[in-house]
Chain A
Amino acid sequence: MEITLFGNTFMMPSDVLAAWVFSLILGGIVGFLILKKRRLGLLWEYMITTNHRKIGILYMLFGIIYFFRAGLDALFIRTQLAFPNNDFWVFQGEKYNEVFTTHGTMMIFFVAMPLLLGLMNTVVPLQIGARDLAFPFLNALGFWLFFSGSLFFNISFFLNMTPEIGWTGYAPLSTEQFTPGAGTDFYVFGLQISGLGTIFTALNLIVTIVRHRAPGMKMTRMPLFTWTSLVTSFLILIAFTVLAIALYLLMFDRMFGAGFFSGTEGNPIYWQHLFWIFGHPEVYILALPAFGIFSDVISTFSKKRIFGYPIMVLSVMLIGFLGFMVWAHHMFTVGLGPMANTFFAITTMLIAVPTGIKVFNWLFTMRLGVIRFTTPMLFALGFIPSFVMGGVTGVMLSVSAANFQFHDTHFVVAHFHYVIIASTILGIFAGLYYWYPKITGYVLDDKLGKWHFWTFLIGFHLTFFPMHITGLEGMPRRVYTYAESDGVTGLNFTSTIGAFLMGISMLFVIWNVYKTYKEGRKVGDDPWDGRTLEWSVASPVPDHTFDPMPVVKEIDAFWFAKAAGEKMPVTDKVRASPIEVKSILPFLMSMTFFFLSWGLTFAWYWMSILSALLLFGLLVIRALRDEREGFYGRREKDES
């Protein structure tokens, strides 16, 4: 189907048409519901909010929406691969390449990241007794930048201009010469904008954790989720900045005729270095917060403090540090030479040590405990063996000579799904079930939660375990079909069944949230018999928390206060809280980034210039409407 718009003719294949129809209907329904229930006010409230809990909710909401979208991509991939020489819908060749590109990019940047950042946003201040993140305005800006970047990336699909360069965007395939269309630009700018938001949020979290802890909450008394958030934030600052520059250089290549990554002078391996200096730490950016969630969940539901707290913290730091020294293990086959290959093989093996420490410490946290099999705990329990399986294939991959065989096959696909789903996704589910009562005041249904857990876990293993073998059978990744004679038919079909089981498991989540909303059971402030400070404040969390401010005397202070049958001591000597503001500026600012990128992508430079001017205008307005003006002036009079 062809459509003419703005003088350009677009091809509209059936999948894009389906996406339009589906989105318009869904958008219509949501819009109708909002109008009918008169919730426009609520919408506006969330657009101007800078409250950490509300921004956390926004992050998680969009993370889950994109999870369904990227999950749908995965189902398309698996359906296409279900049978040899299959011809499912349009997903061969170009369309298949598009769908695995969006699946990977979205899952990493627009699903895992926002869900984790959402949990951090909501929970970290509550765990350390902070009233909000240090810079509420910046926090809102961080979210809206993520939103605008993800929107920019997603819109490419509706224009049938989806990027098709893989989530790794390897040059020279991603340069102008080989992908001249706008698709790759959507990738470049989408990641650039949302990455900027991520950097701001990381910065915000660091300042919050370092400077806004409750009295007595020393660094060595912080819950492990807060610790991992802190280390993760540092990783984000370095890794995402390197990615930003990599994308910046790629933009120069594509738009201004530079030649960093292609041609006789440029170097495609340089892109790979930059990308993996970002990309490998990114894996730990995804995994570490999940480790923190599991630490808290396992400790709570074993009724025991975490085993070996100091070494747990140290190992997180060590993983973060080593994470920056292993990037070239993604590049064993590009000819860096035996010396580099050996170095990166050894560093990669070393990273298994701190990870191993964590696994054993989790096991020994449960030892002698009383293990309650609640839904969050089930996810944590499912995590341990699944993650170890992913971890050991990681060590196998680090064996550089063996990696020549593994590299870029389904074995690698199996490996990284094992580690990322087992840690990040199961961690996010554990976190969502665990903190849902704190966020909404309702506890999610346990029975449906268990259905969700078991179908997801079984589906997950069914999908990805066979991929180890298909990989060794010689199936490269990113191929859209295989021959009967390749001997991988049965295994691929098993994977497809597993993928659909995972898809079905997500329906339990929708059902569960709906059921809880309709007939949910209101719970108290501390439904899980928790150990850390967030369970001492009301559920759902009010806008103003920790009044009076508790004083922390030890690790898991809330638990020990409960055990002693006392209330936590409080104080009124509190440092200045972050000042809450309500402002639409963050939203507007991030939208200027959207249009700026749009102009660059389609060479409508007037639009870019206009957006840039608008952005500077908004920055000036922001500077002139500093919320601290009122606050400072008031105090100053007392002083002089």
Chain B
Amino acid sequence: MPLFFLLTGCNIAVLDSRSDTAEDQAFLILFSFALMLLVVLVVCVLFVWFVFKYRYTDEKKHDIPPDVKGNKWLETAWIIGPLLLLAVLAVPTIMMTYDQSPVLSSESEKDGVPVYVTARQFNWTFEHENGKTENNRLVIPEGGSIIFHLSSEDIIHSFWVPRLGGKVDVMPDRELVYEIKNPQVGTYDGKCAEYCGIEHTSMVFEVEVVTAEEYDRYLNDR
């Protein structure tokens, strides 16, 4: 399993982060993965060891094993151990959750380049600050914060650009705000991640992160 990740790791979309937001998320994924790998390894070592050592052989045919009821110390150990491990994991989790959780737009105090995202069955509309709109193609400037204001015209969709971070649900009758920090120049795939009906699969869009000047040109090019 670790080998698998190492071999393919740098190409996996979610880990190949192209924004600070996605980078934080990738860090959490790898961090939790490393901690959990430790757990899997401990269990697997004990598992193989016990199963091999105490397997049935013909000499043991009439053996009656000792009547062990339990062991207070061991049991305490595997209560405390996981708790410590989870405490280590909880710290960055809480920090980044507070930083990144999508909120209702009425509660948002974030600054940055606003983009208004409207979803419907089965396409996307992106409206920029000066009123320029485009369907299924999102152009944003590199660096700084992009503040997405998302809402849906019909049912629940979900806004996701794996390499830039995400995702956040797009709800009808309420507006959510999600921030993507410091995206890097490039072209990325975006998609709807919440099942939304017949053509859910084809509800995709393209994201182009461009330089600030190009973004200005894009906004003014009508």
User: Could you tell me which A residues sit within 8 Å of B by CB distance?
Assistant: 93-94, 97, 164, 166, 170, 172-173, 178, 262-264, 268-269, 302-305, 307-311, 332-338, 341-342, 345-346, 349-350, 352-353, 356-357, 359-361, 363-364, 366-373, 381, 384-385, 388-389, 392-393, 395-396, 398-402, 404-409, 465, 469, 472-474, 476-481, 486-487, 563
The verdict on B100 contacting chain A, using a C-beta distance below 8 Å, is yes
Contact, CB under 8 Å: A402 / B56: no
Which A residues are CB-close (under 8 A) to B22? 405
- Write the nearest CB–CB distance from B180 to chain A, whole angstroms: 11
Contact with A along B36-70 (1 / 0, CB 8 A): 11011001101100110011100010011111111
User: Could you tell me which B residues sit within 8 Å of A by CB distance?
Assistant: 1, 4-5, 8, 11-15, 22, 24-26, 28-29, 32-33, 36-37, 39-40, 43-44, 46-47, 50-51, 54-56, 60, 63-71, 74-75, 78-79, 82-83, 86, 89-90, 93-94, 96-104, 107, 154-156, 158, 160, 162-163, 165-169, 171-174, 176, 189, 191-201
Which B residues are CB-close (under 8 A) to A408? 158, 167, 193-195
- Write the nearest CB–CB distance from A18 to chain B, whole angstroms: 22
Q: Which interface residue of B82, B158, B191 has the most chain A CB atoms within 10 A?
A: B82
Q: A338-B101, A396-B29 are known contacts. Are A264 and B173 too (CB-CB below 8 A)?
A: yes
- Sample of 20 further A-B pairs with CB below 8 A, known A334-B171, A353-B83, A405-B26: A97-B195, A173-B195, A264-B173, A302-B54, A302-B65, A336-B101, A349-B90, A352-B82, A361-B75, A363-B43, A363-B47, A364-B68, A368-B68, A370-B56, A399-B29, A405-B165, A405-B166, A469-B5, A478-B200, A479-B201
Contact, CB under 8 Å: B162 / A474: yes
**A336 vs B176: C-alpha distance in the bound complex, in angstroms?**
10
Contact of A401 among B44, B79, B97, B103 (CB under 8 A): B97
Contact, CB under 8 Å: A366 / B90: no
**A307 vs B50: C-alpha distance in the bound complex, in angstroms?**
14
Contact, CB under 8 Å: B69 / A349: no
Beta-carbon nearest neighbor of A555 in chain B: B69
Beta-carbon nearest neighbor of B5 in chain A: A469
**A409 vs B4: C-alpha distance in the bound complex, in angstroms?**
19
Contact, CB under 8 Å: A469 / B8: yes
Contact, CB under 8 Å: A395 / B171: no
**A333 vs B36: C-alpha distance in the bound complex, in angstroms?**
23
- Write the nearest CB–CB distance from B19 to chain A, whole angstroms: 12
Beta-carbon nearest neighbor of A358 in chain B: B78
Which B residues are CB-close (under 8 A) to A93? 198-199, 201
Contact, CB under 8 Å: B171 / A335: yes
- Write the nearest CB–CB distance from B103 to chain A, whole angstroms: 6
Beta-carbon nearest neighbor of B102 in chain A: A335
Which A residues are CB-close (under 8 A) to B201? 93, 479-481
Which B residues are CB-close (under 8 A) to A307? 68-71
Which A residues are CB-close (under 8 A) to B198? 93-94, 97, 164
**A337 vs B199: C-alpha distance in the bound complex, in angstroms?**
30
Q: Which interface residue of A264, A349, A478, A481 has the most chain B CB atoms within 10 A?
A: A349
Which B residues are CB-close (under 8 A) to A473? 12-14, 162
Main secondary structure of the interface of A (DSSP, over half): helix
Contact, CB under 8 Å: B75 / A370: no
Contact, CB under 8 Å: B94 / A357: no
Q: A310-B70, A359-B43, A399-B32 are known contacts. Are A478 and B195 too (CB-CB below 8 A)?
A: yes
Q: A97-B197, A268-B156 are known contacts. Are A309 and B172 too (CB-CB below 8 A)?
A: no
Contact, CB under 8 Å: A333 / B191: no
Can you list 24 pairs linking A and B with CB atoms under 8 Å apart?
A: A268-B156, A302-B65, A303-B64, A308-B69, A333-B102, A333-B168, A335-B102, A342-B93, A342-B94, A345-B90, A349-B86, A349-B89, A360-B74, A361-B75, A364-B71, A371-B50, A385-B44, A388-B39, A400-B93, A402-B25, A402-B28, A405-B165, A473-B13, A479-B201
Contact, CB under 8 Å: B86 / A304: no
Beta-carbon nearest neighbor of A93 in chain B: B198
Contact of B71 among A305, A308, A404 (CB under 8 A): A308
**A173 vs B196: C-alpha distance in the bound complex, in angstroms?**
7
Beta-carbon nearest neighbor of A466 in chain B: B4
Contact, CB under 8 Å: A404 / B82: no
**A405 vs B168: C-alpha distance in the bound complex, in angstroms?**
9
Q: A345-B93, A360-B78 are known contacts. Are A337 and B25 too (CB-CB below 8 A)?
A: no
Beta-carbon nearest neighbor of A271 in chain B: B156
- Write the nearest CB–CB distance from A426 to chain B, whole angstroms: 15
Contact, CB under 8 Å: B55 / A409: no
Contact of B82 among A269, A356, A363, A474 (CB under 8 A): A356
Which A residues are CB-close (under 8 A) to B90? 345-346, 349
Which A residues are CB-close (under 8 A) to B13? 472-474
Which B residues are CB-close (under 8 A) to A337? 101, 103-104, 107
- Write the nearest CB–CB distance from B112 to chain A, whole angstroms: 18
Which B residues are CB-close (under 8 A) to A262? 172
Which B residues are CB-close (under 8 A) to A352? 82, 86
Contact, CB under 8 Å: B173 / A396: no
**A236 vs B151: C-alpha distance in the bound complex, in angstroms?**
36
Contact, CB under 8 Å: B4 / A392: no
Which A residues are CB-close (under 8 A) to B107? 337
Which B residues are CB-close (under 8 A) to A97? 195, 197-198, 200
Q: A342-B98, A385-B47 are known contacts. Are A401 and B65 too (CB-CB below 8 A)?
A: no
Which A residues are CB-close (under 8 A) to B47? 363, 381, 384-385
Contact, CB under 8 Å: A333 / B169: yes
**A263 vs B173: C-alpha distance in the bound complex, in angstroms?**
7
**A381 vs B52: C-alpha distance in the bound complex, in angstroms?**
12
- Write the nearest CB–CB distance from A410 to chain B, whole angstroms: 11
Contact, CB under 8 Å: A395 / B89: yes
Beta-carbon nearest neighbor of A372 in chain B: B56
Contact, CB under 8 Å: B195 / A166: yes
Contact of A178 among B25, B154, B167 (CB under 8 A): B154
